[in-house]
Structure 1
């Protein structure tokens, strides 16, 4: 999956990793202040998810922020053994369920977008049947300037796109207002994946 079905004006802003505890906190506070609906594909290896669990939990419970599985340690699944692939997803799944009380299935994002038939089959065997990729990126997995973030948002915040950002570096947090304005000015409706697709019982 790289985009949303149909001809609407939906936008799925998805945010990955979490290497910066401060960025995690600022994203949560941004969502809380604005009502922005987001999907976090987290790696539980990063301490910030535990540090800010109490702040995030109410937004997860309400459905405003959805949590997806991005593996425990951001490993390239295609380089791992069968058992290791399952362990990466299961360990992260267990953390999400224990910490936030939600089941992240069926959505997972393979780190780097690397996947193949084998990893898809293994993920599906534990309920992760829907690999979520993207159609546009804020390109902030590494450090870029705040203006570059705005430029990428201008390029990719478009109807029915799944856009990827990262919870790793601070520049994006300096331009949340500008990113929100791009969304509002284009009449886009921010959604989580669960808003769009019926979550299996």
Structure 2
């Protein structure tokens, strides 16, 4: 169990789905046996009655007891990795929160595949700025533009605006950034408890080492849709989640947020 707010922003750092196919039949013989079934989908989210109010301030973990894990995926620098994460979700039932950096074209490339998952709530979108600057180094106008451009992009592309969750690039934010974010509807700066450390290129072995370390109950874990190694270990990530009896959740699956006045 993790206490929200007690954890700090740490290291910054699939079986394919197929339709039915005709089975080959030997002339005068029986049909070939069907292939063995794939693994069952991952557990679904907890019931809405289990949601808790989002804590004040920056969120780093899911408060209270439970067996949830929120795997949050940032950036989207690689269209191939964005597409692979979408397929991962389709194949396994995995639930993600994607923090979108609007400048990357992978989000537009995969709009048709991603939009139904957003509509169903299996994948949630949040704001990760337009082009990933250090927000604390910008003018107030510059900060506002970062939130506004990605909010508009999300709305126009996916029909949602990502509020109230935003992730500051590098985890850097201050009271001024938070105030401007809130002016745009982003009242919840979302940090993390642990990281897959894959914002840059790392080995598959190191990524799995990070997953073994940080895939724990009630954790918020950060990953990135930037480099291909993660796409080669989806099966191993699912194995860790199953072995630890964790349920993958979006932020909306576990939090309630007060309505705007």
What is the TM-score when the length of structure 1 is the normalising length?
0.98
Match of 2:110 in 1: 52
Which secondary structure does the structure 2 equivalent of 1:150 belong to?
Answer: helix
Query: Residue 62 of structure 1: CA displacement?
Result: 0.3
Match of 2:209 in 1: 151
Match of 1:167 among 225, 229, 235: 225
Q: Provide the C-alpha distance between the structure 2 equivalents of 1:7 and 1:33, rounded to a whole number of angstroms.
A: 28
Match of 2:46 in 1: none
Gaps of 5+ in 1: none
Which secondary structure does the structure 2 equivalent of 1:149 belong to?
Answer: helix
Bigger share in helix? 1
What is the TM-score when the length of structure 2 is the normalising length?
0.76
Match of 2:124 in 1: 66
Q: Provide the C-alpha distance between the structure 2 equivalents of 1:60 and 1:161, rounded to a whole number of angstroms.
A: 22
Note if 1:179 corresponds to 2:241: no
Note if 1:94 corresponds to 2:155: no
Which secondary structure does the structure 2 equivalent of 1:164 belong to?
Answer: strand
Note if 1:27 corresponds to 2:77: no
Query: Residue 184 of structure 1: CA displacement?
Result: 0.8
Query: Residue 199 of structure 1: CA displacement?
Result: 4.7
What value does the CA root-mean-square deviation take over the aligned residues?
A: 0.8
Q: Who wins on radius of gyration, i.e. which is larger?
A: 2
Query: Residue 75 of structure 1: CA displacement?
Result: 1.0
Q: Provide the C-alpha distance between the structure 1 equivalents of 2:221 and 2:254, rounded to a whole number of angstroms.
A: 15
Gaps of 5+ in 2: 1-58
The Cα offsets for residues 151-201 of structure 1, whole Å up to 9 and x where unpaired, read as: 100000000100000000000000000001101110011100000112555
Q: Provide the C-alpha distance between the structure 1 equivalents of 2:219 and 2:124, rounded to a whole number of angstroms.
A: 17
Note if 1:133 corresponds to 2:191: yes
Match of 2:172 in 1: 114
Q: Provide the C-alpha distance between the structure 2 equivalents of 1:185 and 1:50, rounded to a whole number of angstroms.
A: 35
The Cα offsets for residues 75-98 of structure 1, whole Å up to 9 and x where unpaired, read as: 110000001101101100110011
Which secondary structure does the structure 2 equivalent of 1:139 belong to?
Answer: coil
